[in-house]
Amino acid sequence: MTKAKRNIVITGGAGFIGSHVVRLFVTKYPEYNIINLDKLTYAGNLANLKDIEDKPNYKFVKMDICDFEGVYKLMQEEQIDGVIHLAAESHVDRSIKDPFTFARTNVMGTLALLQAAKLYWESLPERYEGKRFYHISTDEVYGALEFDDTLFTEQTPYSPHSPYSASKASSDHFVRAYHDTYGMPTIVTNCSNNYGPYQFPEKLIPLFINNIRKGNPLPVYGKGENVRDWLYVEDHARAIDLIFHKGVAAETYNIGGFNEWRNIDLIKVVIKTVDRLLGNSDGHSLGLITYVTDRLGHDARYAIDSSKLQRELGWEPSLQFEEGIERTVKWYLENQEWLDGVTSGSYQKYYEEQYNNR
């Protein structure tokens, strides 16, 4: 890799949000070296980055963030001065079935990264000057809101209700503790639900697009009345870019779309859009909706107040939801090979071979 103005490691860069962040940084900042560190679990897919994999300022490293020795060595060899930490287990249903994996990756993995960065940066003459450890978290750490006009702010107390959100809350506390104890320049952001291209099709929107395409049932938890705030993934990536460069150390910023939808209403918009783009009659796929037993500990409502980020750094979402959904549905319908490769699992073998042969 070329001599760079900055050397930044992005963890989880082969995942959904991570791949968008990696692509943005690699293309926008050719003077930076971007190291994509990813374990390539089921949700990591190098096909997400095929368009930038040969860029001179991009490097992929297959590594588990829990591998402290490996991460510490990488920090030293690549002279890392910035960490953007997205790697995480994130699916609530999986966390209910296997909480240990979530605690290991989300808590111990974050701790390994923090300690590796601390030891490396403290060994340098300038120590923490010009360094940044940016940790991406979730709105789920705040718990649940009533069906009213309240919003999660940066001052909302933590009240996680699932093993997933509990593991993320713990990792957030460790990040803040490293600032308070050691003076590490950390930042934490809490974001609402993301949607867009390259999302693993276990999540609601790509799952439903794929099921409609195949005529399969659309499983809706409970009565579909749970409310979520939705943000287009490229808007999130723009926010991460802005906060990494302009955010104030030790601060927390909430990132949301000011875009609340009941699940059932969102699903009907997705159905209507997919049916139209497939040439089906209006309402053709509504009969695929199947109500299933509600998820354990299913929070009623999440909604993020992004006004601090808008006020202090000037960020706001660029897309209206209908435009974002239109783009998203078109992408999945136009990239059925990617979607079929992910749902079949063939992507893992192919890109593992590609990586091993590079």
Q: Which residues are catalytic?
A: 139-140, 164
Residue 199 CB partners (closer than 8 Å, separation 6+)? 16, 205, 206, 233
Of residues 128, 139, 88, the one with CA closest to residue 253 = 139
**How far is the CA of 108 from the CAs of 149, 165, 181, 318, in angstroms?**
36, 15, 18, 35
Q: Interior CA angle at 337 toward 332 and 341, to 5°?
A: 105
Helices and strands in the chain: count of H runs, count of E runs: 13, 12
- Sheet harboring 260-262: ordered strands across? 193-195, 227-232, 260-262
Q: What is the distance between the alpha carbons of residues 155 and 306, in angstroms, rounded to a whole number? A: 12
d(Cα 36, Cα 38) in Å, to the nearest integer? 6
